[in-house]
Amino acid sequence: MRLLIKNGIVIDPSQNLNGKYDILIDEGKIRDIRTTSLDRDCISIDAEGMYVVPGLIDVHVHLRDPGYEHKETIMTGAESAAAGGFATIVCMPNTQPVIDHPDTVRYIQNRAKLADVNIYMLGSVTKNLEGEVLSDYAILKELGIVGITDDGMTLNNAKVMYEALERAREYKLLTCLHCEDKELVYDNSIHQGDVAKQLGLLGRPAVSEDIIVARDIVLAESLDAKIHIQHVSSGNSVKLIRRAKERGVKVSCEATPHHLLGTDHWVRSQGTNAKMSPPLRSDKDKKEIIEGLKDGTIDIIATDHAPHTEEDKGQDILKAANGIVGLETALGVIMTHFVHSGIIDMRRLVMLMSLKPSELFELDKGTLKVGKDADVTIIDPNKKWTVDKNQFKSKGKNTPFHGMELTGKAVMTIVNGKVVYDEITR
């Protein structure tokens, strides 16, 4: 299919582009991009007044498939991603069976061929996410995984973590880390703060994150290994990562839209839809994460898309499942509360949500360079819309953003030259 995107404001940090360009797409690739008008015999898409950016990338998605298809499937997750403007997603290994075996990798790869978006995966750091025996990184790397994580589970054993980093460095795999000292988690509820006290909960203190972040930075520094801290929630963790970067440690990190916008006070109005891991923390923590977003300490915005059934989330706060869906709300939340408010600009958004994820996970995406895959997201910055969980493509409806009015939305997602989501021409 030949497509011509006309009149849009192209923002592509990989080429230092920020202006009005026409883009020609043919046979799944970017074929031409220029400021002068391109007039070709093909399907024309008028992007007047809209941003045209490299396809968005989310490096932290729970697809639940295999094993938990009642929560999400590879296909519904991909549809949700496309609707949110994501051309590429990276799925987590906490499936059943875990992504620690060639059969599971092949299962996901085979289904991903039929999906609307590009799907990559992380393998598990340890077999069955048990924190004891390392997975076979050689086989997983050969099959195409782009990193490793025991996401949701922390390797409390420093010896296992040390050996994992050694092995990951050998196979050039990025180690992605959920940081929380299990011994400092008093109960499976919310941030240990004033709200927890008022609700009679013991909570999960921010220092439980800080301790593991500090430990893993020290281990990475000693081995000259690369680590990526997932879903940073603590202000002190941001400071630790900033200082580590300043002295040359190979550490990167991500923040979620919900940790950038929300606090533990959301639990009062949203109940278990504001319960996640790590938990929403204090206003002070949130401010530090936003500061990290502004100064470059935060490398990536990732959703930690975590679909659950109503039954999973409808239980007592101590028993309810952790997590929210985020693929279809992330861009709108960031546009509304961080771009339109002036905290970051559109170039920084594209860095956080496309180019940097591609670079860190070596995906060969995140660009509109001629000859590269035609993954494109078209964003209407002024489109006003109200989040309606009942309209989600995802099976998961667990969101604290239901009813929130947002400004800015992906109105077209193109993956390998194919339009997979369209609000412009329909």
Q: Can you point out the beta strands (E) in 27-164? A: 29-34, 43-46, 51-54, 56-61, 86-91, 118-121, 147-149
Interatomic CA distance for residues 330 and 342, integer angstroms: 17
Q: Quick one: tokens of 15?
A: 């080429």
Q: Can you point out the beta strands (E) in 97-186? A: 118-121, 147-149, 174-177
Residue 112's CB: how many other CB atoms inside 10 A?
19
- The question of whether 304 is a catalytic residue gets the answer yes
- Show the DSSP H helices in 185-316 as ranges: 194-198, 207-223, 235-246, 257-261, 266-270, 283-295, 310-313
**Cα-based distances in Å from 318 to 194, 196, 197, 203, 313:** 17, 11, 14, 10, 10
Interatomic CA distance for residues 5 and 28, integer angstroms: 14
Q: Quick one: tokens of 19?
A: 């202006």
Active-site position among 304, 312, 373, 375 = 304
Interatomic CA distance for residues 260 and 264, integer angstroms: 12
Q: Quick one: tokens of 309?
A: 């059934």
Q: Which residues are catalytic?
A: 304
